[in-house]
């Protein structure tokens, strides 16, 4: 196995562990802290696996998460980061159509974050986001991250079913 693949998957595994830990955190800052670590490991994985569009979208997400952690993330800054994510991702894309998946995932999730407060709609957006990342991660052979994306998608789908309103409440 090529050294870049081993190194990329070590970082992918560390990223997967961090995102899994973030999911169970109750405190928002704890959650964001683990997502900062997740993105840092994901950036290293993307670098090792030559997935540069994903690397740039994650670099923008790192800035976003750090600002959120410091409670300095405004709507205006988020939209600037949204545009930067798209421009930098398109510029760095070396994977063709697959390289567009992380750009679309990050951009669409950002839009959903600001256009809805409905938890169910956010869960649907998260499944869409995770599915795009899973396809990308399988393609670039970031297997631990891809598996984590699939597991979290299924878990989120279960949460959608568990939290759907009863017919008598509609």
**Residue 148 pLDDT:** 95
Domain locations in the chain as residue ranges: 3-164
**Residue 72 pLDDT:** 92
Q: Kindly give, in sequence order, each residue whose CB lies less than 8 Å from that of residue 47, ignoring residues fewer than 6 positions away.
A: 55
Burial label for 2, CB within 10 Å (0-12, 13-18, 19+), is exposed
Would you give the DSSP letter of residue 163? T
**Residue 56 pLDDT:** 97
Burial label for 25, CB within 10 Å (0-12, 13-18, 19+), is middle
Q: For 81-90, how does the pLDDT look when each residue is reduced to its tens digit (9 = 90+)?
A: 999 999 999 9
- How many Cβ atoms sit within 10 Å of the Cβ of residue 97? 8
Q: For 57-80, how does the pLDDT look when each residue is reduced to its tens digit (9 = 90+)?
A: 999 999 999 998 999 988 899 899
How far from 144 is each of 15, 77, 115, 137, 139, CA to CA, in Å? 8, 31, 31, 9, 12
Burial label for 124, CB within 10 Å (0-12, 13-18, 19+), is middle
Q: For 22-56, how does the pLDDT look when each residue is reduced to its tens digit (9 = 90+)?
A: 888 888 889 899 999 999 999 999 999 999 999 99
Q: Which residue has the higher pLDDT, 85 or 169?
A: 85
Q: For 111-166, how does the pLDDT look when each residue is reduced to its tens digit (9 = 90+)?
A: 887 787 787 888 888 899 999 999 999 999 999 999 999 999 999 899 889 888 77
Task: Record the pTM.
Answer: 0.88
- For residues 14 and 9, what is the distance between their CA atoms, to the nearest angstrom? 8
61 closest CA partner among 153, 41, 149: 41
19 closest CA partner among 34, 29, 41, 4: 34
């Amino acid at each position: 196995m090529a050294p870049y693949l081993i190194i990329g998957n070590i970082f992918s595994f560390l990223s997967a562990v961090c995102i899994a830990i973030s999911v169970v955190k109750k405190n928002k800052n704890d959650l964001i802290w683990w997502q900062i670590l997740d993105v840092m490991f994901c950036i290293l994985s993307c670098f090792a696996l030559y997935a540069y569009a994903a690397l740039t979208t994650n670099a923008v997400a790192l800035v976003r998460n750090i600002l959120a952690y410091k409670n300095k993330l405004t709507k205006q800054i988020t939209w600037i980061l949204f545009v930067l994510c798209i421009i930098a991702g398109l510029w760095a894309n070396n994977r063709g159509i697959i390289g567009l998946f992380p750009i679309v995932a990050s951009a669409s999730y950002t839009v959903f974050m600001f256009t809805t407060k409905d938890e169910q709609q956010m869960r649907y957006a998260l499944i869409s986001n995770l599915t795009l990342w899973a396809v990308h991660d399988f393609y670039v052979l970031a297997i631990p991250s891809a598996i984590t994306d699939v597991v979290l998608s299924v878990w989120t789908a279960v949460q959608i079913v568990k939290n759907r309103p009863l017919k008598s409440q509609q």
